[in-house]
Amino acid sequence: MSEALDKLELENEARKEAKSSENEAVKDANRIKRTLKRKKWVDWKEQDEQDAASGVKREPFDPAERIKRKKSAILLSYSGANYYGMQRNPGMQTIEEELFKAMLKHKWITEDSFEQVQIASFQRAARTDKGVSAARQVCSVKLPEELDLEAFNADLPEQIRLFGVERVTKGFNAKDQCNARTYTYTLPTMAFAPHEEKVEDLHDTFRISPELLEKVKETLKLYEGTKNFHNFTSKKSFLDPSSKRFIMSFTSSEPFQSPQGIEFVTLKVKGQSFMLHQIRKMVGLAIAIVRGNTTTTSLERALTEERLDLPMAPGLGLVLDTVHYERYNVRYGKDGIHNPLTWQAQDAQVQEFIEREIFSQIYKTEAEQRNMLDWIGTLHYHSYDTRKEDGPPAPTDGKRSKAGDDDNDE
């Protein structure tokens, strides 16, 4: 019995020694990491020597400059016409690059956060690609409590404006808490003219009839509900669960004339989330159906396991209109600490910006370059039938069109 106890005691001592050795190894590793980190980020001696050689002297650290930052939601509007998308991309002119430069200048973020925005917990609600605009984009980021929006906007290009900032919960994420998104697609009504008509002669003078507009609305309504949209994106199969998306509504405005005298309508689609190219392909097939290039049977088949050849509308006209936070607003919007993310106070400013910077660009580009007219000329290339390996040539937006995508696959 005593031998067994002695053996157990020896084993316990051995475990303690092993544990002690393990702890020492961890401490040594952490010590090395801290040393390396100091060498990489806080080697002020070397930095001071370099600055002294160039005649620059480092200012002493002032504790008052340490700014407390809290999680915030920002309301952003921008015209994407001259930008390579929302997301930061080294060497490219993007919306985020302009935003971060202004934030750094006004000390909304630190230099470390400018280099790695994850440090500031930055997250956009939805990504927009090259040429695509946003009326009400929302991003989450840690910001100081005292902010001067007027001075901040003065350092942004005319095509980008920050209209509002709201304090949000510590765990808020602009993308994850977003429960729906609304996009608009603005296009000339001549896109819906019967395919037998010579639209080249009607681009500026075509006026849609009430009967044809009703057909547009009926066609768009066929997309509503939970359906499998694998034919409306790329590299997704029918069996992929993420191909199913819920479309809450898909409507059309009444026709209106642009300053150039061209008649337009704005299509509006609201859904939980969208896949790459989904909205542009939905619009493209709807136009083909209304024009008579194909029938609603093609749309019905496109929602089944068949793989069909479908057109994709031009990127010009696509705008991220609104990101919705209904569930967040119900839970936190009336807790006495946080405001609901509805941005009603900024609506007039946003609407004025949309008309001046976004829609005016769409009207002007369509009048001068006729993107939609060029694209309509490619509709006859499509079979609207089962896709073959050696099918007809893939249509383009035309040489002068703007590329653009809706949401990433989320």
Give binding residues as ranges.
183
Q: Is 62 a catalytic residue?
A: no
What are the beta bridge partners of residue 227?
A: 245
Place of tokens 């350092």: 155
| Binding-site positions for substrate | 183
The CA angle 77-78-83, to the nearest 5 degrees, is: 155
The CA angle 202-203-206, to the nearest 5 degrees, is: 55
Dist. CA 274–CA 278, nearest whole Å: 6
Contact (Cβ atoms closer than 8 angstroms) between residue 391 and residue 403: no
CA 388, 390, 391, 392: dihedral to nearest 10 degrees? 180
Q: Which two tokens stand for residue 262?
A: 């061209």
The CA angle 219-392-286, to the nearest 5 degrees, is: 10
CA separation (Å) from 308 to 237, 289, 311, 405, 407? 12, 14, 10, 20, 22
Place of tokens 């080249």: 200
Q: Which of 360, 320, 322, 328 is nearest to 344 (CA)?
A: 322
Dist. CA 252–CA 217, nearest whole Å: 6
Q: How many CA atoms lie within 13 A of 326 on its CB side?
A: 5
Dist. CA 188–CA 258, nearest whole Å: 9
Which of 6, 28, 112, 129 is the catalytic position? Answer: 129
CB under 8 Å to 148, separation ≥6 — which residues?
106
Dist. CA 213–CA 224, nearest whole Å: 18
Dist. CA 25–CA 22, nearest whole Å: 5
Label the pairing between strands 256-257 and 133-144.
unpaired
Which are the catalytic amino acids? Answer: 129
